[in-house]
Structure 1
Amino acid sequence: MAANTNSLSLRSVLEKEKLNGLNFLDWFRNLRIVLKQERKLYVIEKSLLDEPPANASRANKDAYKKHLDDMVDVGCLMLATMNPELQKQHEDMVAYDMIEHLKELYQGQARQERFDISKALFQCKLAEGSPIGPHVLKMIGYIEKMSKLGFPLGQELATDVILQSLSDSYSHGTTLSILRKSRRPKQAERLLQGLQRSRTLARGDVDLRVGNGARVAALAMGTYTLSLPSGLDVCGPINTQGRGGFHYFITFTDDFSRYGYVYLMRHKFEALEKFKEFKNEVQNQLGKTIKTLRSDQGGEYLSLEFDDLLKECGIVSQLTPPGTPQWNGVSKRRKRTLLDMVRSMMSHADLPTSFWGHALETAIFTLNRVPSKSVQKMPYEMWTGKRPKIQPPRRSLREFHAPERYGFLITTHGDILLIDQDEPRTYQEAVASPNSEKWLEAMRSEMDSMYENQVWTLVDPPEGVKPIGCKWVFKKKTDMDGNVQTYKGRLVAKGFRQIHGVDYDETFSLVAMFKPIRILLAIAAFHNYEIWQMDVKTAFLNWKLEEDVYITQPEGFVNPKDAGKIYEPCVYKKVSGSIITFLVLYVDDILIMGNNIPTLQSIKTWLGSRFSMKDLGEATYILGVKIYRDRSKRLLGLSQGTYIDKVLKRFNMEESKRGLLPMRHGISLPKEMYPSTPQERERMSKIPYASTIGSIMYAMLCTRPDVSYALSMTSKYQVDPVKGHWTTVKNIHKYLRRTKDTFLIYGGEEELSVKGYTDASFQTDKDDSRSQSGFVFCLNGGAVSWKSSKQSTVANSTTEAEYIAASEAAKEAVWIKKFITELGVVPSISDAIELRCDNNGAIAQAKEPRSHQRSKHILRRYHLI
């Protein structure tokens, strides 16, 4: 118990002054003391060794475990004694790496700063004829800085250093007595602020009567400056270093107009240079002359150079007595107001505290343009003689044209959708892009495929025939982490009517619905099938045309290709005894699943001999969906986190708040929300509402049944949306941001069977009184099919609405049963699919389709109509 108490008391030393960078040496010394007491100093002195092998001795394993535990304890202790900025930088590091990184950051910096200060301290000499006060204050400042860096000189040594810097005309005894009587540096500053010159006296020359009535011999006699009122003030040092290395600021305030100037300073002795800047600006810009300068008796104002400058310019210096800030009230109050404004602005701004200098300049700019009780007009108006031009922010009316190399031109104002130009849209953009070599290689690969398949024959165009144009379409294919995996160039015939940003990326090749893919993945997870992936380097539709088609030659190459539409099965099955293999085709992506590796290898070899293929190994990413597998537990998960990140970034929602639900309960979107004015309709036409719905819809169709209802409700208003509709769509984005890493999991079931669930909400649409249907079918513990849609007829009761929803779900169950039956690997599919409904009336109607109470119109209105 005593050991724990001692440890806690020592740790409190670290917590009193957290690491901020400037105090690294003190913090590191205290950390070593604490760790030495806790017998954990070795953690920051040597890195963690490799984990011992399984056959290692018990002692080695215990030593490794102890080092690992101590490393965690020390790391947490170090993070707890840092400021928040440093915590964020080092929270992912272990203790040894953390201390090495901090040494690189601050140890060299502290050593250089200590060297510079010590050099200045020992080289500082008092010039002959210069006043002693400012010189001693300067020396004390250096000594205090050395103490802050962890190297205090001590009272006696500090005194000796100051004495050796004085010239021979000064008596050591005078200054020595002052320094020895002054135990605190602040008191020494106050004593020496007004001291200009001094000379020693012989003992007994002058006797003084002190406060207690005793008579003492005077040791020295000097010139001491008294002061009267003042308008200039220095503030600092400020603990947080401002951007630019600033620790101080000085204010100049006009006594009549209250107009103020602020200058940031790195050191206090820069006050003289800042005053010169202020004086030159006032004289050159305003043609005014400074008559009087009021300040306190800070050492920065008492130097001989400052005094000579004031005398040379004919400026009267008014110095306030020590401890009387009210004599310089204008400047003091202005400084207090500025600091209050800076604190307020920094508390509301999401910026580091190092931006205090910018906040200070903003504060003085604002004060100069605001009248006060003491000054009825604006200080700016009284100081310059003209009113400031204060206008609200406005939108520029200039037209800005992007450089031609970007390939687009903006000629409109307002909110528009900017298309990502990372993928070139023309041949010229491809050859001019930084990745031109990769795009050219993709085009060469496409052309090689054309030659191998004898797509065309070069001829002269017959008279009267107008050749069809062709163009290149470029696409990047990424892996599961969003990194570019393949550059693809496709040659297509012109004549299409697709619009970029709406349906330009639609595919008209052989594709499988994602629903069969989910069913096959659920089955593969249950039976622990192999799931492999292949990529067709050059996908094409290879068939002979019944008529001649003339097409222009492609840019950069020679030859086009005409694409048609082919309807073929996209899921194929091969059975040989107990060996079964499935092949799923989606344009140029192929999934191969099966229970026999040699058979899968032979299929891949055969495909490679017929087409130009790329073997991607075990499937991990297909069609924007990540595939995660735990073969030991027979679990398989699907996620679209990378795709959702792209969608959020595309619509500037990547930094939005995280939503709790895709759509809150009770939200209605009636027709009254349609645009009521042409201006509102024009404003909403610039919002990418339809593109946003389409982007979310792909995620919903693949892995996100949880947004089906919200998407069904918002997709009805793509023609004339209003701000309320757009807000609802953005709420879906916020929900997706919070749940982007959610998985659709398959596995954990003892039996492979299909289960269905159906539900309906009565008269969801307030405009036409139609209800909303929804169903979901699960296989191997995960959803494989789902839908949420508005019913096509009006239901008169909840029973009718539930019955209509169940009827729609039954149609889907028939398709699932037929598809899985053809697969031949789910024996339970021969039984009836269980469909669950939570309405007794609908269940009774399904079991006995005769007229029931509240459902007598179902036969006439739903089945017949």
Structure 2
Amino acid sequence: MIEKQTGKQIKYLRTDNGLEFCSDEFNRLCKSEGIVRHLTVRHTPQQNGVAERMNRTIMEKVRCMLSNANLPKSFWAEAASTACFLINRSPSVAIEKKTPQEVWSGNPANYSDLKIFGCPAYAYVNNGKLEPRSIKCVFLGYKAGVKGYKLWCPENRKVVISRDVVFDETAMLPNLSLKDCSNKENQKQVEHQINTESTPQKYAEADLVAYALNVAEDIDANQEPSNYSEVISCEDSEKWMFAIQEEMESLHKNKTWDLVKLPKGKKTVRCKWVFKKKEGTPGVEEPKYKARLVAKGYSQAPGVDFTDVFSPVVKHSSIRALLGIVAMHDLELEQLDVKTAFLHGELEEDIYMQQPEGFTVSEKEDYVCLLKKSLYSLKQSPRQWYKRFDSFMTSHDFKRSSFDSCVYFKKNNDGSFVYLLLYVDDMLIATKDKGEIRKVKAQLSEEFDMKDLGPVKKILGMEILRDRKTSKLYLSQKGYIEKLLCRFNMRSAKPVSTPLAAHFRLSSALSLQSDDEIEYMSHVPYSSAVGSLMYAMVCSRPDLSYAVSAVSRYMANPGKEHWKAVQWILRYSRGTTDVCLQFGRTEDGVIGYVDADFAGDLDRRRSLTGYVFTIGGCAISWKATLQTTVTLSTTEAEYMAITEACKEAIWLKGLFSELNEDLQISTVFCDSQSAIFLTKDQMFHERTKHIDVWYHFVRDIIARGDIVVSKISTHENPADMMTKSLPITKFEHCLDLPNSADNLEEVPLQQVMSTPPQSTIDKPMIAAVLLRLKGVAAGNQ
């Protein structure tokens, strides 16, 4: 560029000894062009003083500009670019008080377009007759090669280039936070890169990478129009318009609204077009262009435009229970999807919406849409859709489960069942006869616009694989975990053998201490990583339960050690991407295992409850959570854990009694003899009277014979991995335990009741009693 723009050739190039300037490829280029290299001695930047002094000048201006404009550090690159733009147009003593721009091009600098960096700017837009004619932005500088201004629009979080701009240089905007404005997905990879650096000096380099990734994302995002005006002028205008026409046809077919005059005293809800381009398989499937008309539901007033908004979805335990039944009885399992599901909901309130942009009816420009059906982004849309679907199912002889509102079943004359599970607009249908599935599909298609996805392959990010010859069904999240590892830059991490090593002693004392650590952790995507791992744990990975439970307690204020623990879990996931749940044929019913870790929480000394329920050796329900109160002994902790497990057992028993009478749950195994004794006898009332009454309901359950709590050896209890960090041999043993029915040990009730176990009064309880006695004695004295 220098040679073409100035007609002069480069003779010398002076740099430091950094590897970015000393690659073999670059050295060969300089040698072939006859450019002589000047390299500084290491740790002597003064030898390249001209460049170093200019860096300082630029950064001093950047700090001042950001501070004056109340902008966060995330805009440092824009400020640096503007600083260079101004320096090139400022007189310099080194070139006889001329400007670099003039010396470079031979033309004097033009100052007529200069504006104050960071000032409010109003860019002209044309979004419709009734829409505002401008959007409020922040001035960020000048776009190279384009005759226009570079602006940041906080509303849609994009950089805008515009020439028709009105500036307000008399004021600055208040502090602009980018916590929600920056592209979180891209920052995750960058932030992990920051976390692995050893010194704060490298933050600036990582910020540069973050800026580059954000800019790259903005470029990609431009492929998807942000509003209707961009659709008209973009390259794929015809394809986007076809998608819009499809959406409008669907809305009219569904009779979503009527055009009416706006009644006095009523307000309208605005709407907007949302566009998404879904990339197809290269060479096989063409990209899909989708358009959705969504209401701006945030402007709805509670009590006026909506009341109740809650809508249930099927529980993951119910999904796994159905998969267990499918594998056991070799049922057909297929999947359906409802097109534009939310448009089927009947509205109970009068909601008025402006006419869609680009589709204003001629001679009725002042009319508004009185919504008859729900629309995407309305507060009540999910609830109204569920109510409509529930009404349809119950009117077609399906019964709704009293244990899960999104599980429907119907018993045929031959004794077989038809099952249907609903998660918003995704459905699973299972039955013995394919003809029954076709019948249900036909009924649904008459009422709703359905998409038949055939035999189930994937739902909610979970892959379902079947081997009908061996009657095996596999539930895997391999694809999700691989994306998760890629997102947090852990694809090449070294795998480890356990979810959380024993050397991690996590507590709030390890939270942020020094300023350096606060700065370090501000770039760490801790909450996002834990949340992503939590979804894997909830869906198909009970082996992650204890580890995710441990790190999730410090979401509000994590420290470096907590982040290392999260990275450890990701490394474990890296080596176990192929781990999945395996369902098969079995004569065993549902079996439960429960365990507790006494005072495992180092902060509040609360105990941890862990349980897992299996069907044919495959886990269908699990939990690892802190208990609500502090217990005084191991016995109490185990007793409370049994209570939690029995509550889940009752729910599962009720669910299976509806779905399949042959599958019942009757036994929960626990490794604490003393806790089992307390569940069956109230002899030691003095030792348990401080325990909340609601925990004692387990005694009634056991007395009625609904659930039997039986003894199992600690070494044979798979729930042990739900409550503590285990060595690799014990951890792998726990993973394999549910597959063997030989490990179960029933203790006769007579034996338990005749001689109380010695461990009923354990050391922590004795210590508590001694402390009380000591206090009483001191008071009497």
Task: Give the shorter-chain TM-score range.
Answer: 0.5 to 0.7
User: Is 2:350 aligned against 1:514?
Assistant: no
Which amino acid counterpart does residue 720 of structure 1 have in structure 2? N
Once residues 495 and 466 of structure 1 are traced to their aligned partners in structure 2, the CA distance between those partners, rounded to angstroms, is 13
Q: 2:249 aligns with which of 442, 445, 448?
A: 448
Instruction: Check 1:637–1:370 CA distance in 2 against 1; reply closer, same or farther (3 A cut).
Output: closer
Q: Contact 1:531–1:591 at 8 Å: present in 2 too? A: yes
Local SS of the residue matching 2:501: coil
Change in 2 beyond 3 A, CA 1:389/1:734: same
Residue aligning to 2:651 = 815
* Partner-residue secondary structure (3-state), 2:314: coil
Q: Which residue of structure 2 lines up, in the alignment, with residue 537 of structure 1?
A: 339
**Equivalent of 1:552 in 329, 343, 354:** 354
Q: What does 1:721-740 align with in structure 2 at a 5 Å threshold?
A: 721-740=558-577
- Report deviation, 1:762: 1.3
Give the counterpart letter for 1:738 in structure 2: G
The 1:684–1:444 alpha-carbon spacing in structure 2 relative to 1, beyond 3 Å, is: farther
- Cα deviation, residue 771, structure 1: 0.8
Tell me if the contact between 1:845 and 1:852 (Cα under 8 Å) persists in the aligned partners: no
SS, match of residue 590 in structure 1: strand
Identify if the C-alpha distance between structure 1 residues 547 and 639 changes in structure 2 by more than 3 Å, giving closer, same or farther: closer
Report the Cα offset of residue 463 of structure 1.
3.2
Taking a change above 3 Å as real, the CA distance of residues 752 and 438 of structure 1, as seen in their structure-2 partners, is farther
Residue pairs, 1:415-494, within 5 angstroms: 417-419=183-185, 426-428=226-228, 440-473=241-274, 489-494=291-296
Paired letter, 1:459? V
Whole-angstrom distance in 2 between the partners of 1:435 and 1:737? 39
2:495 to 650, 658, 662: 658
Deviation at 1:457, TM superposition (A): 0.7
Return the alpha-carbon distance in structure 2 between the equivalents of residues 582 and 391 of structure 1: 72
User: 1:626 aligned to 457, 463, 466, which one?
Assistant: 463
1:575 aligns with 2:247: no
Q: 1:700: Cα distance to partner? A: 1.5
Equivalent of 1:688 in 504, 525, 538: 525
Query: How far did residue 728 of structure 1 move?
Result: 2.1
Q: 1:754, CA displacement in angstroms? A: 0.3
Where does residue 41 of structure 2 map in the other structure?
A: 369
SS of the residue corresponding to residue 269 of structure 2 reads: coil
1:600 shift after superposition: 1.1
CA RMSD of aligned residues (A): 4.7
Paired residues of 2:506 and 2:562 also in contact (CA < 8 A): yes
Residue type at the aligned position of 1:841: S
Q: Contact 1:446 / 1:538 at 8 angstroms: preserved in 2?
A: no
Paired AA for residue 313 in structure 2: V
Q: Is the 8 A contact 1:581 1:594 kept in 2?
A: yes
The alignment's TM-score, normalised by the length of structure 2, stands at 0.55
Corresponding residue of 1:528: 330
Aligned to 1:753: 589
5+ residue gaps, structure 1: 1-279, 287-340, 372-377, 499-506
Q: Please tell me whether the aligned partners of residues 523 and 780 of structure 1 are also in contact (alpha carbons under 8 angstroms).
A: no
Change (3 A) 1:629 1:434: farther
Q: Distance in 1 between matches of 2:679 and 2:288?
A: 53
1:491 & 1:768 partners in 2: Cα distance? 50
Q: Is the CA contact (8 Å cut-off) linking 1:416 and 1:686 kept in structure 2? A: no
Cα distance in 1, alignment partners of residues 45 and 420 from structure 2: 80
Q: Show the counterpart of 1:675.
A: 512
Partner of 1:834: 667
For 1:433 and 1:736, locate their aligned partners in 2 and report how far apart those are by CA, in whole Å: 42
Runs of at least 5 residues in structure 2 that lack an aligned partner in the other structure = 1-9, 63-75, 79-139, 144-149, 160-175, 187-216, 301-308, 361-368, 391-404, 699-781
Counterparts of 1:432 and 1:817, CA distance in 2: 60
Deviation at residue 643 of structure 1 after TM alignment: 1.8
Tell me how far 1:797 sits from its aligned partner.
Answer: 1.1
Q: Is the contact made by 1:512 and 1:571 (CA closer than 8 Å) also made in structure 2?
A: yes
Q: Which whole-Å CA distance do the structure 2 matches of 1:431 and 1:655 have between them?
A: 44
SS of corresponding position for 2:260: coil
Letter in 1 for 2:436: T
Indicate the SS of the match to 1:763.
coil
SS of the residue 1:715 aligns to: helix
Residues 607 and 626 in structure 2, CA contact (< 8 A), matched pair in contact too:
yes
Contact 2:657 2:663 in 1 (8 A): no
**CA spacing shift, 1:408–1:783, aligned 2, 3 Å:** same
Would the alpha carbon gap of residues 534 and 388 (structure 1) be closer, same or farther in structure 2, given more than 3 Å must change?
closer
Distance 2:178 2:439 in 1: 59
Partner SS for 2:297 = coil
**Deviation at 1:532?**
0.8
CA contact (8 A) 1:477 1:485 kept: yes
CA distance in 1, matches of 2:539, 2:281: 15
**Given that residues 596 and 637 in structure 2 are in contact (C-alpha distance below 8 angstroms), is that contact kept between their aligned partners in structure 1?**
yes
Shift of 1:822: 0.8
CA distance in 2, matches of 1:806, 1:706: 20
Deviations 1:609-655 (A, max 9, x none): 22211111111111111111000001011111222233333333334
Change (3 A) 1:600 1:775: same
- Structure 1 counterpart of 2:262, which letter? P
Kindly tell me: are residues 736 and 360 of structure 1, through their superposed partners in 2, closer, same or farther at Cα, counting changes over 3 Å?
farther
Question: Structure 1 690/440 Cα, relative in aligned 2: closer, same or farther at 3 Å?
Answer: farther
d(CA) in 2 for partners of 1:379, 1:466: 65
What does residue range 762-781 of structure 1 map to in structure 2 within 5 Å? 762-781=598-617
Q: Give the structure, 1 or 2, with the largest relative contact order (CA under 8 Å, sep 6 or more).
A: 2
Equivalent pair of 1:533/1:590 in contact (CA under 8 Å):
yes
C-alpha separation in 1, matches of 2:327 and 2:281: 20
Match of 1:846 in 2: 679
Question: Retained in 2: the 8 A contact 1:369–1:380?
Answer: no
Cα deviation, residue 685, structure 1: 4.7
Letter in 2 for 1:779: I
Q: Call closer, same or farther: CA 1:357–1:449 in 2, change over 3 Å.
A: same
Deviations 1:529-564 (A, max 9, x none): 111111212212545444422112233446664541
| 1:837, distance to aligned residue in structure 2 (A) | 1.0
Amino acid in the other structure paired with 1:460: K
1:399 maps onto 2:77 in alignment: yes
- Check conservation: 1:795, 1:801, Cα contact below 8 A: yes
- C-alpha spacing 1:688/1:495, structure 2 compared with 1 (3 Å): farther
* Residue matched to 1:7: none
Residue 624 to residue 671, structure 1, CA distance change in 2 (3 Å): same
Structure number, greater radius of gyration: 1
CA distance in 2, matches of 1:651, 1:530: 38
Partners of 1:480 and 1:620 within 8 A in 2? no
1:94-132 CA-partner distances (Å, limit 9, x unpaired): xxxxxxxxxxxxxxxxxxxxxxxxxxxxxxxxxxxxxxx
- Does the 8 Å contact 1:539/1:588 carry over to 2? yes
Distance 1:480 1:699 in 2: 26
In the aligned structure 1, how far is the partner of 2:492 from the partner of 2:619?
30
- Structure 1 residue 729, shift from structure 2 partner: 2.1
TM-score, normalised by the number of residues in structure 1? 0.50
8 A Cα contact 2:592 2:611, kept in partner: yes
Task: Name the count of aligned residue pairs.
Answer: 503
* Corresponding residue number in structure 2 for 1:698: 535
Could you say if the C-alpha distance between residues 495 and 614 of structure 1 is closer, same or farther in structure 2, counting changes exceeding 3 Å?
Answer: closer
State the Cα distance separating 1:725 from its structure 2 match: 2.3
Corresponding residue SS for 2:599:
coil
Alpha-carbon distance in structure 2 between the residues aligned to 1:852 and 1:580: 47
In structure 1, give the amino acid aligned to 2:255.
Answer: Q
| Separation (CA, whole Å) in 2 of partners of 1:648 and 1:580 | 40
